[in-house]
Amino acid sequence: MDGPQRDGSAAERTPELSDRDAELVEELLAGSHRALARVITRIEDRAAGHRAIVSALHGHTGGADVIGITGSPGAGKSTLVDKLAAAYRERGDTVGVVGVDPSSPYTGGAVLGDRIRMGSNVGDMDVFFRSMSARGQLGGLSMATADAVKALDAFGKDVVVIETVGAGQNEVDVVRTADTVAVLVQPGSGDDVQTLKAGILEIGDVFVVNKADMDGAERTLAELEEMVHRREGPTTGLDTGHHGFDAPEHPDDPTPSDGEAASGDAADASGDDAPGWTPEVLRTVANTGEGVDELIAAFDAHAAHLRESGEIEATKRRRYAEEIRTLVRSDVGALAAEEIERRGGIDRLAEAVRRRETDPYSVAAEVVAPIVDCVETDRE
Amino acid sequence: MSVEQEERAIRCLVAKVGLDGHDRGAHVIARAFRDAGFEVVYSGLHRAPEDIVQAAVQEDVDVLGISILSGAHNTLVPKVIEGLKEYDAFEDTLILVGGIIPDDDETELKELGVAEVFGPGTPMEETIEFIRNNVPERA
């Protein structure tokens, strides 16, 4: 856990922290809300120097539990996040929230409305709520969100919640940056549950039927239970209505798991070979705060499971691998874009293809050729 | 050195402060700002000045638009400005006030640091133009 890692072997493109940004990072680490807010803006803007900032912060991250909350519009995500934040505050945790809202693909404008629901935490600066919009970058939103989470983590937040509408791949990628994902469903949404099957069901660690005081809640609960257990496979999950939260707590002891759960009875549900996690299905009424404590208990249980099974390391590796790939892809893509410009722009190239003077494959090969050359020369 | 394309957006907080339940105007403004390509955070009704400060600081907005129709602007606006100063956020936030503000009060508010006051009937384009021309440069 030491500061910015800049080893001597760094190539010329290693992010260089300017003096002013170094100061900003210092201020953030010292607990300035303003600096934190400003850093997130830089991240969102993909402004010059933001990479150096994030890479300077990276060494200070890893302390926060990151929770993703997704669900269809109107499921009550914002209200629940508000109550969650208040409950976390009550037990002494500091909280960061990133609320992601869609933006208009035409004007880029957006009304970021999640903040309106943060009624329980107004005036409490230890809940840092930040609205972000999808600024239309391809794959950029999840990157920006992940970086914003890092800023909140480095700032020292105990819990960081990412809230997003579960609408498409973009949003799925966003919640994937969380360690624990809760999928929110409202009662009576039989069709909703159906659509959950595709994509979102797989990423949920906890399923929540919110507005559980409404008609149809029981049925939706039953449907989710059934779906969750079907996912577990036909032989398991028949008796997993509850598995205890009394799993041993060794937060600082990431057991290098050899597939053996530490305690015998906590893992009774899922057999010996893979100490898997059976998603919880819970009910909440976000308006009144009913079920919020149980939800937090489920989040804690999942976090403990990740640590004890050693799965957290695999999860983090997978996530960082994805980040590295995204960055490399975007950098190489930018190089290619420059090359396209140098060759007269994409329109001219496209027009040449339209006139049958050349074809897309040849154009792509020509554009990439100098990059390939460089890589090959470098290798020798 | 960054080869990435910068994606800057003007961020605004549209805020209702105090005991004033009239938010039609704030809604209309919020939508107009959105359509102008701004990112708009709406505070919701009946916020205390410190709530507005918290939101403005955390959201790191370029523009803070305060809508007041209750006549309490002389009490509430200074409190918001004080709070912003406390968090070192006053200098680079463009503060606008919308609502029914007597001329004398307008002068006073401007002395405090409000950039402009927009009364009833102000064309939406005028407000948007003003923001575009006056949004604080951030290095």
Tokens 């057999």 sit on residue: A271
Contacts of B57 in chain A (CB under 8 A): 33-34, 37
Q: How confident is the model at residue B29 (pLDDT cuts 50, 70, 90)?
A: very high
Return d(Cα A182, Cα B6) in angstroms, integer. Answer: 32
Return d(Cα A180, Cα A65) in angstroms, integer. Answer: 8
Return d(Cα B106, Cα A205) in angstroms, integer. Answer: 54
When CB atoms are compared, the residue of B6, B38, B43 closest to A47 is B6
Quick check: A115 and B54 CB within 8 A?
A: no
Residues 6+ apart with CB under 8 A from A94: A88, A126, A127, A156, A157, A158, A159
For residue B7, CA distances in Å to A10, A146, A178 come to 27, 17, 24
The ipTM assigned to this model is: 0.88
When CB atoms are compared, the residue of B39, B51, B89 closest to A133 is B39
Quick one: pLDDT at residue B44? Answer: 84
Quick check: A49 and B41 CB within 8 A?
A: no
Query: What does the pLDDT average to over B57-74?
Result: 92
Quick one: pLDDT at residue A224? Answer: 84
Quick check: A109 and B59 CB within 8 A?
A: no
Quick one: pLDDT at residue A113? Answer: 75
What are phi and psi for residue A278, nearest 5 degrees? Answer: -90, 120
At A48-59, the pLDDT tens digits run: 888 999 999 999
Contact B38, B9 (CB under 8 A): yes
The 3-state DSSP class for residue A115 equals helix
Q: Which residues of B106-118 are buried (b: 16+ CB within 10 A; e: fewer)?
A: bebbeeebbbbbb
Element (H, E) at A180: strand A180-185
Quick one: pLDDT at residue A233? Answer: 56
Quick one: pLDDT at residue B106? Answer: 94
At A302-314, the pLDDT tens digits run: 999 999 998 889 8
Quick one: pLDDT at residue A46? Answer: 82
In chain A, what are the domain boundaries?
1-59, 61-309, 343-379
Quick check: B2 and A50 CB within 8 A?
A: yes
Return d(Cα A375, Cα A139) in angstroms, integer. Answer: 25
Quick one: pLDDT at residue A25? Answer: 95
Q: How confident is the model at residue A271 (pLDDT cuts 50, 70, 90)?
A: very low
Tokens 């976390």 sit on residue: A88
Residue of A205, A88, A252, A249 lying closest to A158 (CA atoms): A88
Quick check: B31 and A111 CB within 8 A?
A: yes
% helix / strand / coil in chain A, to the nearest 5?
50, 10, 40
Q: How confident is the model at residue A6 (pLDDT cuts 50, 70, 90)?
A: very low
The radius of gyration computed from the CA coordinates of chain A, to the nearest angstrom, equals 23
Looking at this protein, which amino acid is placed at residue A247?
A
Min mean pLDDT across A31-40, A60-69, B4-13 is at B4-13
Residue of A294, A285, A299, A338 lying closest to A69 (CA atoms): A299
Q: How confident is the model at residue A235 (pLDDT cuts 50, 70, 90)?
A: very low
Give pTM, 2 decimals: 0.81
Quick check: A338 and B8 CB within 8 A?
A: no
At B85-135, the pLDDT tens digits run: 999 999 989 999 999 899 999 999 999 999 999 998 899 999 999 999 999
pLDDT surpasses 70 at A3 = no
Q: CA neighbours within 13 Å on the CB side: how many for B71?
A: 0
Chain center to CA of A81: 15
Task: Find residues 53-82 of chain B whose CB sits inside 8 Å of chain A.
Answer: 54-55, 57-60
> What residue in B sits closest to A36 (Cα-Cα)?
B58
Contacts of A54 in chain B (CB under 8 A): none
Residue of B72, B71, B76 lying closest to B95 (CA atoms): B76
Question: For the domain with range A61-309, which CATH number is right: 3.40.50.970, 3.40.50.720, 3.40.50.300, 3.30.930.10?
Answer: 3.40.50.300
The string of DSSP letters for B39-75 reads EEEE--SSB-HHHHHHHHHHHT-SEEEEEE-SS-HHH
Vertex A151 angle, CA A1 and A86, to 5°: 110
What are phi and psi for residue B31, nearest 5 degrees? Answer: -70, -40
For all residues of chain A together, what is the average pLDDT? 80
